[in-house]
Amino acid sequence: MTSQRRGLVFGFAAYLIWGLFPLYWPLLEPAGAIEILANRIVWSLAVVVVLLLALRRRHWIRPIVADRHRVVMLTVAATTIALNWGLYIYGVNSGRVVETSLGYFINPLVTIVFGVVLLHERLRRWQWVAVALGAVAVGVLTADYGHPPWIALTLALSFATYGLIKKTLAMEPLQSLACETAILFAPALLVLVAVNALGSGSMVSNGAGHFALLASTGVVTAVPLLFFGAAAIRVPLVWLGLMQYVTPTIQFGIGVGVDHEPMPASRWLGFGLVWSALALIAVEALVFHRRSALIALEPLVE
């Protein structure tokens, strides 16, 4: 299997696991979003450390610590993904799964905008149309909700930022995740100690089964992130954007079909505009890359 095909497999596996998260987070109640987030960070680091020790990988730490720019970028990545994790848990456990799915539907559009603003890329005509459709969709959904869909927008912005940083750093995924969770470990541990000491936590007061479920957040967090990291360094950014659709599609199905969240006509219209924009992006990207491949082959044919 080629490196790119392995990347596609890793990517689809990551997005599939993330898509099923709305069925997992409610199992952790009565823990609140902050306590669940702190557990995710602490137990993720534990899982990663075990993996690194098993693989006998130790000598990579010193060069990273000595690289100030990389440390700063890893800190930004860690902060960004912590925001994404915490807000997503809050959205799911507060009955807003459909809005969280909207965030990941919007994410590819945000990635395109980042390419223009931060990387000075030029959009092709149909990409501009797709971005415009996405902007109209946000306006329609703002009118529907009575306020901007801030959970969706924040999830989209934070995850697009995280993906961009991961692509820029091009680090081995296990090492990158180890650095990110290590940066967040001390604050997360302080949160766990504080909430349980104050009696508002549930980690040590709801039995061994609940404790085991909270500890399992390390595995279910580390595995898809490692898969995503492995995909990000093997697959072009455009393909990561296309695979992104797997996660919100599953989440949307859970929100509507399992949790029976309301979907008035105006909300269907907003989602319909987003889906139209994504379909346009997908078709345009496939056509563009096919044409590029044919142009590249023309000198060989001649």
Q: Identify the pLDDT of residue 289.
A: 65
pTM for the whole structure: 0.85
Q: What would the mean pLDDT of 64-72 be, rounded to a whole number?
A: 87
> Higher-confidence residue: 105 or 4?
105
Which of 21-25, 50-54, 69-73, 260-264 has the weakest average pLDDT? 50-54
Q: Identify the pLDDT of residue 136.
A: 92
Percent of the chain with pLDDT over 70: 94
Q: What would the mean pLDDT of 73-78 be, rounded to a whole number?
A: 93
Q: Which long-range contacts (CB under 8 A, 24 or more apart) does 45-54 make?
A: 45/178, 45/181, 45/182, 45/185, 45/218, 46/218, 47/218, 47/219, 47/222, 48/174, 48/177, 48/178, 48/181, 48/222, 49/178, 51/174, 51/222, 52/174, 52/175, 52/178
Q: How far apart are CA 11 and CA 247, in angstroms?
A: 11
Residue 238 has pLDDT above 70, yes or no: no
Q: What is the mean pLDDT of the chain?
A: 86
Q: Identify the pLDDT of residue 301.
A: 47
Q: Identify the pLDDT of residue 300.
A: 45
Q: Identify the pLDDT of residue 89.
A: 94
Residue 79 has pLDDT above 90, yes or no: yes
Residue 7 has pLDDT above 90, yes or no: no
pLDDT confidence tier of residue 294, bands split at 50, 70 and 90: low
Residue 236 has pLDDT above 80, yes or no: no
Per-residue burial over 48-69, b = 16 or more CB atoms within 10 Å of its CB, e = otherwise:
beeebeeeeeeeeeeebeeeee
Angle at 216 between CA 258 and CA 191, to 5 degrees: 100
DSSP-derived letter for residue 121 is P
Q: Identify the pLDDT of residue 227.
A: 86
Q: What are phi and psi of 122, to 5 degrees?
A: -105, 130
pLDDT confidence tier of residue 295, bands split at 50, 70 and 90: low
Q: Identify the pLDDT of residue 152.
A: 93
Percent of the chain with pLDDT over 90: 43
> Higher-confidence residue: 204 or 195?
195
Residue 151 near residue 94, CB atoms below 8 Å: no
* Block residue for tokens 């104050």: 198
Q: How far apart are CA 16 and CA 61, in angstroms?
A: 31
